[in-house]
Amino acid sequence: MASAAPVQTRTETDSLGSKEIPADAYWGIHTLRAEENFPITKRPISVYPDLIRGLAMVKQASARANKEIGTLDAERADLIDAAAQRVIDGEFHDQFGVGVIQGGAGTSTNMNANEVITNIALEMAGREKGDYAYLSPIDHTNRSQSTNDVYPTSIKIGLSLTLRSLLDELDLLRQAFLNKAVEFHDVLKVGRTQLQDAVPMTLGQEFHGFATTLSEDHHRLTENASLLFEINMGATAIGTGITTHSGYAPAVLRHLREISGLDLETATDLVESTSDTGAFMSFSSSLKRNAIKLSKICNDLRLLSSGPQAGLGEINLPAQQAGSSIMPGKVNPVIPEVVNQVAFAVVGSDATVTMAVEGGQLQLNAFEPVIAHSIFQSITWMRQAMWTLRVNCVDGITANRDRLGAMVGSSVGVITALTPFIGYAASAALAKTALLTKRNVADLVVEAGLMSREEVTKQLSPARLSGLEAVTAAIPIVAAEDLVEPVADA
């Protein structure tokens, strides 16, 4: 058997020594050391494409700012600019291999970006990868920067970009519930409080409520996203701006706003901004709020579809897969269940973010990698969960109209709608009769001579039972003792 051809390498050196790097790799020695040190999650930072784009946008804006203020020559600045644009456009993401969880406050991620963008630029210039004497990852691509301003700024830009897709999916899910609200607008059902029968409502009202709560979350997420627009570029190591030109911070901000399309602003106190990660905690909290409310909706869908024979059985969820390896014909609500589990994970991620924010010390928070991973994962999972809930569940929900109608007809809760006409005492007595005899409430009211059939039918119409038409009238005094005592069925 022929032996495999030897792998071509190049030698790179850092302050700790030298290592062999695959000749065709765009990453370098700093990335290799990180991959050796942090083989924890087996998930590279490239699983979050918008984080990679955020990094490239920062490098591009910095190159333009350095060129503008004269701290980097035009030839090198333009090469870095062009290389960064290719990463923004989606190329070379497979070269970002450092793990999402890493020590060093994000230094490995920053160096991964510096090395990849530098070697892309070298290749574009017709030079060999690793020719750092001409174009250096640190001296040129990282000019006027530190991990401590690059990394949090890149995270904020990346989160802002990926949030857009979440908000789009959230709006589509809201619209799906609104569509069902229209479809079910005339379907009466029994409302429930504390899992006990309450007054009637329409199934459309219930689904409209789901849509409204998702709309509120859309507003909250949008509001909290604005907290991510404050950046600390120009702070360098701890916020003092050491090694930067006085014109760098305003220049890089201007270019970064143009590149990202975001309404970014430089923090007024760069020392505070470099050490504080409270914005991430607030944003994570709004994701948790959305997850919890979405999980509550899924709980309701599972309850409403329970059965189909021995449960509530009010609605039918689309059957997506066989539900049991032992019980033929069993179908489970797998889509709401998976969304529940995503919500649980988001809650856990929020707890992680909270602890990581609290764990920062003095002038820097070393735990931003786990903050970034937790929030990016929450957004990614939530977006996908919303998609599957909409496409594989909500769009195909149907109502069991006959069952719902029968339950409303026999429910004592409907008598609440008649209290303005027959009084509370009479209503309570008739409710007791209905429960004992299992008879229709409307029939009992007519038989008692309290209202005509026409009047009862009018007042128990879907519009009035659901509160869409508010009706009040003079209430006659009808004593409970004036009614026939209820007799239970034999």
Q: Compute the distance between CA of residue 171 and CA of residue 178 in angstroms, rounded to an integer.
A: 10
Report yes or no: 272 and 310 within 8 Å, Cβ to Cβ.
Answer: no
Q: Compute the distance between CA of residue 106 and CA of residue 144 in angstroms, rounded to an integer.
A: 17
Q: Compute the distance between CA of residue 264 and CA of residue 277 in angstroms, rounded to an integer.
A: 16
Q: Which residue ranges in the chain fall short of pLDDT 50?
A: 474-475, 486, 490
Type and span of the H or E element at 55 = helix 49-69
Question: What is the predicted pLDDT for the residue at 280?
Answer: 95
Say how many CA atoms lie within 13 Å of 175 toward its Cβ: 8
Reading phi first (left if > 0) and then psi (alpha if -120 to 50, else beta), residue 313 is in: left
Report yes or no: 21 and 10 within 8 Å, Cβ to Cβ.
Answer: yes
CA 464 to chain centre: 38
Question: What is the predicted pLDDT for the residue at 490?
Answer: 45
pTM value? 0.88
Question: What is the predicted pLDDT for the residue at 426?
Answer: 85
Helices 107-124, 49-69: axis angle to 10 degrees equals: 70
**DSSP states along 141-155:** TTTT--HHHHHHHHH
Q: How many angstroms separate the first and last alpha carbons of the chain?
A: 91
Q: Which positions are catalytic?
A: 324
Question: What is the predicted pLDDT for the residue at 415?
Answer: 76
Q: Compute the distance between CA of residue 92 and CA of residue 80 in angstroms, rounded to an integer.
A: 14
Domains by residue range for the chain, with CATH: 9-143 (1.10.275.10), 149-323+332-396 (1.20.200.10), 411-489 (no CATH)
212, amino acid identity: T
Question: What is the predicted pLDDT for the residue at 52?
Answer: 98
Exposure pattern of 71-110 as b/e (b: 16+ CB <10 Å)? bbeeebbbbbbbbbbbbbeeebbebbbbbbbbebbbbbbb
Q: Compute the distance between CA of residue 104 and CA of residue 114 in angstroms, rounded to an integer.
A: 16
Task: Report the share of the chain in percent with pLDDT over 70.
Answer: 93
Query: Which three-class secondary structure string do you get for 419-454?
Result: HHHHCHHHHHHHHHHHHHHCCCHHHHHHHCCCCCHH
Q: Compute the distance between CA of residue 331 and CA of residue 403 in angstroms, rounded to an integer.
A: 20
Among 181, 217, 215, which Cα is nearest to 394's?
A: 181
